[in-house]
Structure 1
Amino acid sequence: MTLSPTAAPQQTGGKPARRYGPNHRWTVLGIGVAAQASFSATFAGIPVTGTTMRGEYHLSNGQLGVVLGGILLGVAVSEILWGLLTDKFGDRKVLLTGLLSTGAVLALMSLFTVPSGDSVPSVALLAAAMLLVGILGGSVNGSSGRAVMIWFREGERGFAMSIRQTAIPAGGAIGAALLPWLASSYGFRPVFGVLAAFCFITAGATWLWLHEPDDAPAAAKAAAAAADDRSPLRRWDCWRLALASALLTMPQIAVLSFAGIFLHDAKDAGLVVGSVTILAVQIGGAAIRVWSGRYTDRTGNRRGYVRAVGVITGVAMAAAAVLTHAPTVLVAISLAIGGMLANAWHGVAYTEIAAMAGAQRAGTALGLENTTAFAGATLTPLLIPLLLGWSSWTVVWAAVAAASLIAVPLAPGKAKPKPVTAG
């Protein structure tokens, strides 16, 4: 039986089920933020420990790139599947599965993949564990995003999705502030243990409070009527936005993964300088994302905004390339600005591709978006050591700028209005 928005749902035994009215959407958004932040602290926080990890695990720059890219590769190869499963089984089941399994793997890593005395885990074991974390943690993105899309309506979705996407730099900021200190002071056992605890705590909140709205069936019908009935996987406009997002991800990951290494190796800066630079990127990026969502809700031009961000990010990273040999303070500031700008498009692009697909296909659309974005994020730490070995840091930052600028014409332009039919 289909429930109307005002019908009282019933549980077995005639006992009324708990109602979740419109205001519960803010609780759902809070869960989405917490889930995204828990996983973000992992995939964005661990790279900030790169200098310590390289020494503790006896890694070369190339091996470090493989290890750090493992999480992102895991997300990239699993996202579409998780999106399809989310659309089929619902947000709650997929999010709980992902958080609990990711937490379990991180807990096992804290026991079995940390250096102890003269014993150092192999590169293969560490990379495989990181890959598994990425595969399981990838479930968080589409499931939490679909929950937000179902609970929020057009005109506020950009703001809500941008807040959820803000959890990525916010969680990364927590990781940047906490994990390098834990790793250098106490080793990697507490690093993985704390990340596991984040996942388990968020899973508890999901179990308690993530539910569908009472008017979900009615909302689903409305969304289906408004959206293109084709799968996002068969739409070139969705693919264009997703591929542009892959290119726009590269400057963000380049700064997160290698700004600290660059400042340490090329500028002789200490751990504090690298951590402060990344922290500024994450906090500033969070603020820009929230503003971007509110702004595009008012203007309605999400596609144009994504293109504009590509231009200004490309210019900012080109400036970082020019300033490579400048004083440390100047180049650190330029990288921080470029990294912050590279964060601005996420919530807007994710909202746009989910809106293009419709709420009931949002899991698949967000899975596609995350697949390409994380594919770009995976390639970045693999390509940078190759570029660095072939040339210089100037070329690295210039290549990152070029990726942003190429994304501009690739991103879809203004959507054509749908024809109005009589009746």
Structure 2
Amino acid sequence: MRRWLILALGTGAQTVACVFVYGLPYMSDELRRNSSLSLSQVGLVVACPTAGLVLALVAWGALADRIGERIVITAGLTATAALLALGTQVSGLVPLGLLFALSGAAGASVYAASGRLVMGWFSAKERGLAMGIRQTSTPLGMGVAALCIPRLSESFGVRGPGVFCAALCALFALLVGALTVNPARDTSSSGTRPEEGSGNPYRSPSLWRLHGTSALLCVPQFTASAFALVFLVDVRGYGAVAAGQLLAFAQVLGALSRVVAGRWSDRVASRVRPMRQLAYTTAAVLCLTALGAVWPTPASDVLLVIACGITASTNGLAFTAVAELAGRSWSGRAMGIQNTGQNVTASLTPPLIGALIGAAGYAAGFGLAAVIAGAAALAVPVPKRERSAEQTSGDSGQVEPAKGSV
């Protein structure tokens, strides 16, 4: 029972960290009016938390590997709450940018350690489901931000959302500190192969390939999420509110797809086989979405919603596979590197794909995302044990990978 409580706390902690990072864009108008910032300066301020996050992820992961997850998450969320509270008292580009960057860096503790915490409390037979649930924190955080931040900003100015996010972070810092217990350091108790806990796992190319594959799969995910609304408004003639409601359903679909994919990986005792198959499916759906952009019909809308859901499905699988390959003694650093690659790719995708769409149309943008999803599927590593099982399974097609393979 305790492991489910810890899963809830880890997911909640990650969610409140996401509320702050993804809620800032909803404060843009208030930042312009109350802080006397230009639109370009607002863009810089909004980007500061992500910059701080990316720079601090690996360091927090290494600290979690050394001293455990409970202290790291509690300290990081406490610091985030304090910095956000301080941010409500200042204005101007440099003070706000600095405090938001430091807040993002402090919040990176949750990104680096909460996945490690969940992984340690669940056996290999349940990890896929557990990490799939944990990875719903991103759409949950985005949903809370979309519902709360605009209203608070309109009613209380910049201080309202700042106090709200600070209070959420402080609450979960208290809950994690009081109720969380670090998983046992003995790797055999967590279901991880003992040999994974020793030595540097980056001597093998498999981890690097997983990081690269995950970064590539961020391109279709953030292409679909970044340009779905403008496609529906510009091409299909939706109003902004109606398009937003349709895409809110797509976020729910994305969260569910992560949970279902995780459970699937538990049942087949492999993370990479479902990941590879979902990457191919993503490529196929985006190909159809590109065709729908050439010949827009109501079916184009359905395909776009499906694309937003399916492109998010591999996220939990990738984190689970990375942590299992890295082993307990390296999983914090490995997930820090994983998060870094994904955040960098997520930051670069909208402007680069946006430039392509501006020059060649939506079909070109969705088509390129489909090609990249196909390349990611080809790059997914196949562990030797699984490859051997596939080769010896004969014509029956029944694969029985060794326990603990990714």
Q: Given that residues 173 and 283 in structure 1 are in contact (C-alpha distance below 8 angstroms), is that contact kept between their aligned partners in structure 2?
A: no
Matches within 5 A, 1:290-309: 290-309=259-278
Residue 38 of structure 1: how far off its partner (Å): 0.8
Is the Cα–Cα contact under 8 Å of residues 27 and 153 in structure 2 kept in the other structure? no
1:91 paired residue number: 69
Q: Letter of the aligned partner of 1:371 in structure 2?
A: T
Match of 1:356 among 284, 306, 325: 325
- Describe the superposition over 1:351-385 as per-residue Cα deviations: whole angstroms up to 9, x where unpaired: 11111122232212211211211121121234244
Q: Does 1:36 align with 2:6?
A: no
Counterpart pick for 2:3 among 16, 25, 32: 25
Higher relative contact order (CA 8 A, sep 6+): 1
Q: State the one-letter code of the partner of 1:105.
A: L
For 1:374, give the aligned amino acid.
N
Alignment correspondent of 2:242? 273
Q: Output the CA distance in 2 between the equivalents of 1:322 and 1:55.
A: 39
Q: Could you tell me which residue of structure 1 aligns to residue 397 of structure 2? A: none
Structure 1 stretch 68-77 or stretch 97-106: which is displaced more? 68-77
Q: CA deviation at 1:125?
A: 6.0
Aligned-pair CA distance for 1:150? 1.6
Report the equivalent of 1:136. Answer: 106
Contact 1:65–1:382 (CA under 8 A) maintained in structure 2? no
Separation (CA, whole Å) in 2 of partners of 1:180 and 1:332: 26
Structure 2 letter corresponding to 1:79: L
Q: Do the aligned partners of 2:65 and 2:331 also contact (CA within 8 Å) in 1? A: yes
Cα distance, 1:206 vs. partner?
A: 0.6
> 1:340 deviation in Å?
0.9
**Is 1:401 paired with 2:370?**
yes
C-alpha distance 260-104 of structure 1, shift in aligned 2 (>3 A): farther
In structure 1, what is the equivalent of residue 309 of structure 2?
340
Tell me whether 1:194 sits opposite 2:164 in the alignment.
yes
Cα gap change, 1:234/1:99 in structure 2, threshold over 3 Å: closer, same or farther?
Answer: farther
- Return 5+ residue gaps in structure 1 as ranges: 1-22, 114-120
> Quick one: distance in 2 between partners of 1:323 and 1:128?
43
Matched residue pairs, number? 386
Change (3 A) 1:269 1:187: farther
Secondary structure of the 2:329 match is helix
The equivalent of 1:310 in structure 2 is 279
Go from structure 1 to structure 2 and tell me whether the alpha carbon gap of 1:154 and 1:253 turns closer, same or farther (over 3 Å shift): same
| Corresponding residue of 2:39 | 59
RMSD: 3.2
SS in structure 1 at match of 2:276? helix
Alignment of 1:124-273 (within 5 A): 128-183=98-153, 187-213=157-183, 216-217=185-186, 219=188, 223=192, 225-227=194-196, 229-263=198-232, 269-273=238-242
TM-superposition CA deviations, 1:368-406 (whole Å, max 9, x none): 211211121121234244334544343333333332222
| CA spacing shift, 1:52–1:321, aligned 2, 3 Å | farther
253-262 or 400-409, which moves further after superposition? Answer: 253-262
Number of the residue aligned with 2:82: 104
Aligned to 1:15: none
Q: Contact (CA 8 Å) 2:187, 2:327: kept in 1 or not?
A: no
Which one-letter code corresponds to 2:139 in the other structure? Answer: P
In structure 1, how many angstroms separate the alpha carbons of the residues matched to 2:163 and 2:336?
Answer: 28
Aligned in 2, Cα 1:169/1:77: closer, same or farther, shift over 3 Å? same
Cα distance in 1 for partners of 2:28, 2:233 equals 8
Aligned AA for 1:161?
M
Cα shift readout 1:149-190 (whole Å, capped 9, x = no counterpart): 221111111111111112222222222333344445654432
Match for 2:342: what amino acid? A
Query: 1:118: which partner in 2?
Result: none
Query: After alignment, is 25-34 or 332-341 more displaced?
Result: 332-341
Distance 1:101 1:394, change over 3 A: farther
Contact 1:50–1:257 (CA<8 Å) still a contact in 2? Answer: no
Which range moves more in the overlay, 321-330 or 103-112? 321-330
Per the alignment, do residues 277 and 95 of structure 1 end up closer, same or farther by CA in structure 2, a change over 3 Å counting?
A: same
